[in-house]
Structure 1
């Protein structure tokens, strides 16, 4: 366990150095920086883990938002769950028959692989946009799987970005577990089903918004996301989060309608954003409206600081 903790600390320190150097390059190019968190976290139920508690998230919102932020001129540090949606790679068919059917063998020598013509209309714009971002150094990807790994990387990245002040946006779209089992209370080996029904007591995960806002990056523009299944409590809980953590914005959304409508909640306002039927038919994503609105909010935040 000590070796694992040491390895995690070394990985976080390495990530902090990478983010600091990358952010300095963004600042030299006159870019603002956004740290986008994306995907769900995994919480082990055993020390030598076979079973896990998952926060279900495809990472689509984070990936779509990262694309829009790069397009808006931001450098994006993309802190994402392994194998979740990735910016621009979303245009690829999903792994399996759909992906294999989108590929064609080309005759040699040497033999090669090409995209099927039917796949090109979606792939070409995404590939061009990714290449532009990569060549401009505008995207830095950091990958996590477990909850502890996510928290360590978030802290490391925030510390690295703190010197850049109000030009930094934290766009916290990851679905982070609220519960975990402390290492001291976790069984070492696989839990045996022969022992009968399982009862687990889990503790609350310490909220990272408080140290992020107060200590790690106190000058940054911070956006959290609130997802509920009960619309009647959504705004109240969003406002309580703003009051408790003193950050700038909550993007509030309901599970069933999260891909077509959200409410941007600030200290002084509630602004609904939604897609019309025509916009949905045209393939527009709600993240385009979210990022456009929050970019203006970030500009106002920076101007207020000066």
Structure 2
């Protein structure tokens, strides 16, 4: 079934219950960093769900865990950007991504002494944990990162539009790094049952509708001066670059990061209107646990600086430092869950 317009999508789906709280956080964050001339990267991360019931028990999902977005957010911070990290609830997040599962607990020791029980980091884990903890503390104490979370595709779009509204005053200093795996299909709200579907009723027949492409209003209306980067995931090498270039031709944004499902962790292709550039990790880099996102963000920062040069923007902050903030800037609160 053909998709409706983006206006019809928003008209048919109410904003999430915590939308106004999130919009206030976004507004305060963007205004504060805009005041000091900082650059802001909006990094979207993780997958969106499509509920099959209003009181949701079942939903359509995808495999995204937020690996690309959570790693990239760390590298934007290292390059002096403030970061809005818009992520799927319970997906990977910057800094804590390094300690998923039981890794963190394996680094700790406990000494039980009654009321004086202490927990310490094992000596052989200090060198691993300390630098990540330092970067985490620096980012949060400077108010350089804001977390906002979504679950469903409609929640994602409401937050994305709100973030764009707050970023528009930054003009070309805003980067939109749209790494979230957004559902291509959804079920219109008026066709979703209120309660859990009952198996006794037999197998359901579910008709999905195409999600409207939000890149068009985003690039043309919401943040027309921003440096917008989208992502293209394919399983067929022959489709990868042609579809990425077709997206650039259609939506007129700045870059598509193209990757194959099978090789996405060590190979990507950056497609811009002017060139196509492959980033490929060596076997040694893969075995050493090197993040390909470091190279992606490094090249993006270079291209963003070129984009800003005609505007007379100041050079980026030195590598490894945070964007300059007002003295004693308060840490930005996390989004209520």
* TM-score normalised by the chain length of structure 1: 0.92
How many pairs align?
300
Aligned residue number for residue 274 of structure 1:
280
Aligned residue number for residue 175 of structure 1:
181
- Point out the structure with the larger helix share: 1
The one-character-per-residue Cα deviations of 1:166-188 (angstroms, maximum 9, x if unpaired) are 00000000000011101111122
Q: Does 1:72 align with 2:79?
A: yes
Partner residue of 1:43 out of 42, 45, 50: 50
Supply the distance in 1 between the matched residues of 2:31 and 2:276 (Cα, whole angstroms): 34
Supply the distance in 2 between the matched residues of 1:147 and 1:124 (Cα, whole angstroms): 36
Partner secondary structure for residue 116 of structure 2: coil
Partner secondary structure for residue 174 of structure 1: coil
Aligned residue number for residue 197 of structure 1:
203
Supply the distance in 2 between the matched residues of 1:51 and 1:270 (Cα, whole angstroms): 41
Q: Does 1:221 align with 2:230?
A: no
Supply the distance in 2 between the matched residues of 1:104 and 1:163 (Cα, whole angstroms): 49
The one-character-per-residue Cα deviations of 1:196-237 (angstroms, maximum 9, x if unpaired) are 233210101111111111111111100000000111101111
Partner residue of 1:129 out of 131, 135, 145: 135
Check the 8 A contact 2:16/2:155 in 1, yes or no. Answer: no
1:133-144 matched pairs, under 5 angstroms: 133-144=139-150
Deviates more, 1:132-141 or 1:191-200: 191-200
1:231-246 matched pairs, under 5 angstroms: 231-246=237-252
Aligned residue number for residue 150 of structure 1:
156
Partner secondary structure for residue 259 of structure 2: strand
Supply the distance in 2 between the matched residues of 1:227 and 1:140 (Cα, whole angstroms): 27
Partner residue of 1:57 out of 57, 64, 70: 64
Deviation at 1:106, TM superposition (A): 2.7
Deviation at 1:117, TM superposition (A): 3.4
Check the 8 A contact 2:179/2:230 in 1, yes or no. Answer: yes
The one-character-per-residue Cα deviations of 1:127-163 (angstroms, maximum 9, x if unpaired) are 1110011111111110111111111111111100111
Supply the distance in 2 between the matched residues of 1:101 and 1:14 (Cα, whole angstroms): 36
Check the 8 A contact 1:238/1:252 in 2, yes or no. Answer: yes
Supply the distance in 2 between the matched residues of 1:94 and 1:117 (Cα, whole angstroms): 20
Supply the distance in 2 between the matched residues of 1:55 and 1:44 (Cα, whole angstroms): 12
Deviates more, 1:105-114 or 1:79-88: 105-114
Supply the distance in 2 between the matched residues of 1:93 and 1:42 (Cα, whole angstroms): 22
Deviates more, 1:6-15 or 1:216-225: 6-15
Check the 8 A contact 1:16/1:159 in 2, yes or no. Answer: no
Supply the distance in 2 between the matched residues of 1:209 and 1:200 (Cα, whole angstroms): 27
Supply the distance in 2 between the matched residues of 1:106 and 1:135 (Cα, whole angstroms): 30
Partner residue of 1:260 out of 263, 266, 271: 266
Higher relative contact order (CA 8 A, sep 6+): 2
Check the 8 A contact 1:12/1:153 in 2, yes or no. Answer: yes
Check the 8 A contact 1:92/1:123 in 2, yes or no. Answer: no
1:66-145 matched pairs, under 5 angstroms: 66-95=73-102, 98-108=103-113, 109-145=115-151
